[in-house]
Copies of this chain bind each other. A is one copy, B any other.
Amino acid sequence: MSQKSFQDCYPDSLSYCYGCGRLNEHGLHIRSFWDGEEAVCSFHPGAYHLAIPGYVYGGLIASVIDCHSTGTAAAASYRAEGRPMDSEPPFRFVTASLHVDYLRPTPIDQTLEVRAWVKELKGRKVVVMSTVTADGQICAKGEVVAVRAPEHLIKG
């Protein structure tokens, strides 16, 4: 996609996240976009991201849910203030808690589609729900409690 992702709008100093930082050369480069009221992320696992032969590693699924959800929390917070994601001051969310239910083994050779939506946005706290779909089936469900990072943590 040539469209700007949520993560493309993070300031450089906050773009080194292993999951979603565009400047982390070893990272997963998770990218998230609005699709109406939901945020969507497509991710194609590497062949080595496996758990048992044929299936995706659960820690990778947790990682994709994590970054996509904190990105969605940030994007939703900008939206709530009616300003673009690359405007000042920057919002950056950290994960207070992460919950993943693995419903079925996730096939390794498919592109994962993660869809997230905001369940609650209250002050500095955003609760983001998500599903991970592969080959037309929901394989995992996520719930992330994201909290706006204190300013001293996000100063580059």
- Nearest-CB distance from A76 to chain B (Å)? 19
CA distance A62 to B58 in the complex (A): 9
Residue A63 at the chain B interface, CB threshold 8 Å: yes
Main secondary structure of the interface of A (DSSP, over half): mixed
B49 & A59 in contact (Cβ 8 Å cutoff): no
* Listed residue (A17, A27, A50, A67) with the most chain B CB atoms within 10 angstroms of its CB: A17
* Listed residue (A51, A59, A154) with the most chain B CB atoms within 10 angstroms of its CB: A59
Residue A102 at the chain B interface, CB threshold 8 Å: yes
B18 & A48 in contact (Cβ 8 Å cutoff): yes
Tell me which of A80-88, A89-97, A113-121, A131-139 binds B.
A89-97
Across the A-B interface, give the 3 residue pairs with the lowest CB-CB distance, nearest first. Answer: A59-B63, A26-B48, A18-B57
